[in-house]
Amino acid sequence: MWHHYLKIALRLLARNRVYAAINIGGLALGLAGCLLILNYVRYERSYDAWLPESERIYQVQSTIHPPGQPLVYTQTSPYPLRAMLGDAFPQVETITSVSPGKTVTEQAGQPIFIDSTTVDPAFFQVFALPFVQGSAATALRDTNSIVLTQSEAMRQFGTADALGKLLSLGAGSGKRDYRVSGVLRDLPRNTSLKLSLLFREDPAQILYRGWGNLNQQHYVKLRQNAAGGAAGAASINAGLPAWEKRAIPDEMIDGKNATMSDLFDFRLTSLGDVHLGTIQEGALVPGGDPRALATFAIVALLTLGMAVMNFVNLATARATQRAREVALRKVLGASRVQLIVQFLGESVVMALIAMLLALTIVELATPWLSGWIGADLRIAYLGADGMFWPALALFAATGSLGGLYPAFYLSRFQPAEVLRANKSSIETPGNGRFRTALVLFQFAIAIGLIVSTWVIYAQTRYVETVDAGYRRDGLVQIANAWRFTQGSEYEAARTELLKIPGVTGVGRSGLALGSPLKSIRLMQGPGVPSYGNYVSMGLYAIDADLLSTLGITPLAGRLLGERFAADRARGPEGNIVPGRSVNVVLNRAAATAFGYRAPQAAVGQNVRIAIAGDFLVPATIVGVVDNSRFRTARDAIEPTVYAYDPPQTSIVLVRYANARPGEVMAALNKVWRRFEPEIPFEARFADDIVRELYDADRARGALFAGFSALAVLIACLGLYSLASFATERRTKEIGIRKVLGAKVRDIVRLLVWQFSKPVVLANLIAWPIAWWAMREWLNTFDIRIALTPGPFVLAGLLALAIAIVTVAGQSLRVARTNPIHALRYE
């Protein structure tokens, strides 16, 4: 029996090749898109799951309450936690700290940076990482030992066999040889750890060990007994607020006792939740976006839903032409159950062929997608993360969902009605409306995706080109220049930089463009001597040339410079002098935060700022500049105080004009190598830095564009097939209309309007949903485009135009048919 059903199904597909190609091809595209996205979602959710006992490892995350500022959420935590947390909670088996940084070495006569990580002796007790050479017991025995990953060992020595070899690291007086005490297997990409070279922490190098030192992450490994695991983490989180009150000592700030425990809240977060968690500041590697991930999964399922709708639509349309076959089978004794099984089996056969095609597409597309998004996506069919079971579930779902309605619909034909009328086809009441509804929902999804693509592209383009409050064009940023900016030869080097053809300005800064890092300090104002409540703002060190190099001019007052001794934040010996007044420049947001309504009102006023440490020094506002957006468009403008403090700068910004960018960059490198031969030259154009900030949004837009194109293609395939079917059934009607005087354009207009109506109505469904989704997404930005009717109307018109083109060709062919042939039809 099954053999008989399979033979009939294959013969029907061979007889209707165009129908089979459209139906199976559309379903295969939908299945492939769904499987690709589901594989990516699985990959994102698998971060750190490969680590042994990862379910017992938790990261200590911090919430900081700066006065007068929004809450700061970070993956870093204060230095004293490592020594105190384990003793306070018996659930903790081990605790370790991880501090990211950079070191420098020399290769082929050129200095290069290496991403380095400083860890304590307990690191390998928490993270059981696989060693290629050496072991956790022998690695990092002293501060002269280092551990490399395989790829870093290959880069430094040309071989992974590096155990016991010496590597010279550092620069200047800190340069020395380290012995390789272990080589780690390269970590998979789906990890929240970033390891290339590991140092052992040297306590003598820790200059500040207080609660304000958040230069490290802390990880705890909980005990394996009943007190550990998720229950243990919940118990610790419940007890942390009370422990903070006991453990964090009060401090004297500005001569007053301050309760420091009110500044911090700590929480353990499972290692598996770090990558997709809401807290990403201070992360070792860029985190994932759970909202974007959920959006992609929904879009994938919607696209698959469109393909299934197509499948059902075409199946029910073709089913009407099998009325006589069904009637004869019933007359010959076939039961309704047998007919349902037969037609459901035909649907499953098509779904199986579509799934095989979909898996082929997935195999071919996965390497390309993996390289595009920078992931390590792989196709495996068996195992816990294998694709076999998801593919089987999708195949079963699409085969049954796509075949159940047509099977029940076909099996209810009445033999007497069909045979008495001598019909080869039959249309039951409501069936046409059902197919129209499916087309309507298909185009609603397509229109929604087109709108989303349009809005995402427009917003990404807007934030890349919007006025940031400083001139981005013709600007170069040289990073990791701490020795260069603070060295005694800086002025000589600056003179040489300004001699480069086209260079018009050079300045130093403590704030890098696009950096997520903030330097928040305590401040008071206005009024003397009663200062009111404390506030906190961003305090950034600059030199006299930085603001003019950025193209920032004062709204009121003046900029900082060398002419005034009080402009310098530090005294002659290079120290902050308590009680000595300094001059500062504010941005407009800081002036507003201090209570001044107009920039001019702030000039000459006295405030107090904590330039270094916990004591506040008097400061005079000598100028106010406009707000500048140095971070992403998602971040609100930060109230910022600029202090003339070159010893605290680490960034060089160079302005050039009327010169070729490549030649300017080469000349900058040449000057750098003359004055800083031991430190690599890391320079980038400001436009490239800003563009990189929105790579994720650009990738999201490209993915939406791809799914929009796929959705439109699937919808058009279904619409074309339905139009072909409908015009074929109305051949005699069209012939009669032509005999009665109807012109070709009248018939084309009639048929096109019939299939355009559901596309027009689809806008009523797509627009509200797309508006809500895009409004929620745009609300994640501090600056954003207006959500105008334009993208919605244009998306609707585009979908309508595509639908008209799809239907018009088939309609025109039928409308030109000779009426004689049409009247002889059937």
Kindly indicate the confidence band of residue 227, based on its pLDDT and cuts at 50, 70 and 90. low
* More confident call, 821 vs 371: 371
Nearest to 773 by CA among 523, 542, 467, 444: 444
CB neighbour list of residue 403: distance below 8 Å, 6 or more residues apart: 315, 343, 344, 345, 346, 347, 348, 351
Residue 97 has pLDDT above 90, yes or no: yes
* More confident call, 793 vs 402: 793
- What was the pLDDT predicted at 40? 86
Kindly indicate the confidence band of residue 506, based on its pLDDT and cuts at 50, 70 and 90. very high
Lowest mean pLDDT among 187-196, 316-325, 468-477, 713-722: 316-325
DSSP 536: E
The amino acid at residue 431 is N
Helix axes 336-373 and 388-411, enclosed angle (nearest 10): 150
- What was the pLDDT predicted at 327? 67
Kindly indicate the confidence band of residue 81, based on its pLDDT and cuts at 50, 70 and 90. very high
Kindly indicate the confidence band of residue 108, based on its pLDDT and cuts at 50, 70 and 90. confident
Q: Which residue has the tokens 């902050």?
A: 576
The rounded percent of the chain whose pLDDT value lies above 90 is 35
Helix axes 290-319 and 336-373, enclosed angle (nearest 10): 150
Q: Taking a C-beta distance cutoff of 8 angstroms, is the pair 643, 628 a contact?
A: no
DSSP 274: T
* More confident call, 228 vs 779: 779
- What was the pLDDT predicted at 529? 45
Residue 606 has which token pair?
Answer: 């006295």
Q: How far from each other are the two terminal CA atoms of the chain, in whole angstroms?
A: 33
pLDDT digits (tens, 9 = 90+) for 515-525: 888 888 888 88
pLDDT digits (tens, 9 = 90+) for 173-217: 888 999 999 999 999 888 999 999 999 998 877 777 888 888 899
The rounded percent of the chain whose pLDDT value lies above 70 is 83
Kindly indicate the confidence band of residue 526, based on its pLDDT and cuts at 50, 70 and 90. confident
Residue 532's SS3 state is coil
Q: Taking a C-beta distance cutoff of 8 angstroms, is the pair 102, 284 a contact?
A: no
Residue 425 has pLDDT above 50, yes or no: no
Measured CA to CA, the distance from residue 814 to residue 733 in angstroms comes to 11
Kindly indicate the confidence band of residue 75, based on its pLDDT and cuts at 50, 70 and 90. very high
CB neighbour list of residue 762: distance below 8 Å, 6 or more residues apart: 440, 441, 442, 443, 444, 446, 447, 796, 799
Q: Which residue has the tokens 């049409």?
A: 822
Lowest mean pLDDT among 235-244, 339-348, 484-493, 720-729: 720-729
Kindly indicate the confidence band of residue 365, based on its pLDDT and cuts at 50, 70 and 90. confident
Residue 357 has pLDDT above 70, yes or no: yes
Measured CA to CA, the distance from residue 759 to residue 804 in angstroms comes to 10
Kindly indicate the confidence band of residue 528, based on its pLDDT and cuts at 50, 70 and 90. very low
Lowest mean pLDDT among 123-132, 150-159, 609-618: 609-618
Nearest to 456 by CA among 694, 691, 276: 694
Distances (CA, A) of 804 to 712, 727, 760, 809: 13, 15, 11, 9
* Selection from 184-188, 453-457, 563-567 with the highest mean pLDDT: 184-188
Residue 16 has pLDDT above 70, yes or no: no
CA 751 to chain centre: 45
- What was the pLDDT predicted at 65? 86
For 797-803, which contacts have Cβ atoms below 8 Å and span 24 or more sequence positions?
A: 798/450, 799/443, 799/446, 799/447, 799/450, 799/712, 799/759, 799/762, 799/763, 800/756, 800/759, 800/760, 802/712, 802/716, 803/443, 803/715, 803/716, 803/719, 803/755, 803/756, 803/759
CA 124-125-128 angle, 5° bins: 60
Residue 373 has which token pair?
Answer: 């998004």
Distances (CA, A) of 600 to 504, 581, 608: 29, 20, 19
pLDDT digits (tens, 9 = 90+) for 665-716: 999 999 999 999 999 999 999 999 988 888 877 777 777 787 778 777 777 7
- What was the pLDDT predicted at 136? 92
Residue 531 has pLDDT above 50, yes or no: no
- What was the pLDDT predicted at 759? 82
Mean residue pLDDT across the chain: 83
Residue 530 has pLDDT above 50, yes or no: no
- β-strand partners of 116: 101, 197
pLDDT digits (tens, 9 = 90+) for 597-628: 899 999 999 998 888 766 788 999 999 999 99
Measured CA to CA, the distance from residue 24 to residue 26 in angstroms comes to 6
Kindly indicate the confidence band of residue 333, based on its pLDDT and cuts at 50, 70 and 90. low
- What was the pLDDT predicted at 324? 64
Between β-strands 176-184 and 92-107, what pairing exists: parallel, antiparallel or unpaired? Answer: unpaired
Residue 347 has pLDDT above 80, yes or no: no
Kindly indicate the confidence band of residue 430, based on its pLDDT and cuts at 50, 70 and 90. very low
Sequential DSSP letters for 126-166: H--PPEEES-TTTTT-STTEEEEEHHHHHHHHSSS--TT-E
* More confident call, 119 vs 230: 119
Residue 781 has pLDDT above 60, yes or no: yes
- What was the pLDDT predicted at 620? 93
Q: Which residue has the tokens 């072909």?
A: 724
- What was the pLDDT predicted at 252? 65
pLDDT digits (tens, 9 = 90+) for 387-422: 788 888 888 887 777 677 666 666 666 665 555 555
* Selection from 369-373, 519-523, 547-551 with the highest mean pLDDT: 547-551
For range 780-805, the mean pLDDT: 88
Report the predicted TM-score, pTM, of the whole model to 2 decimal places: 0.82
pLDDT digits (tens, 9 = 90+) for 261-274: 888 999 999 999 99
- What was the pLDDT predicted at 520? 83
Residue 479 has pLDDT above 80, yes or no: yes
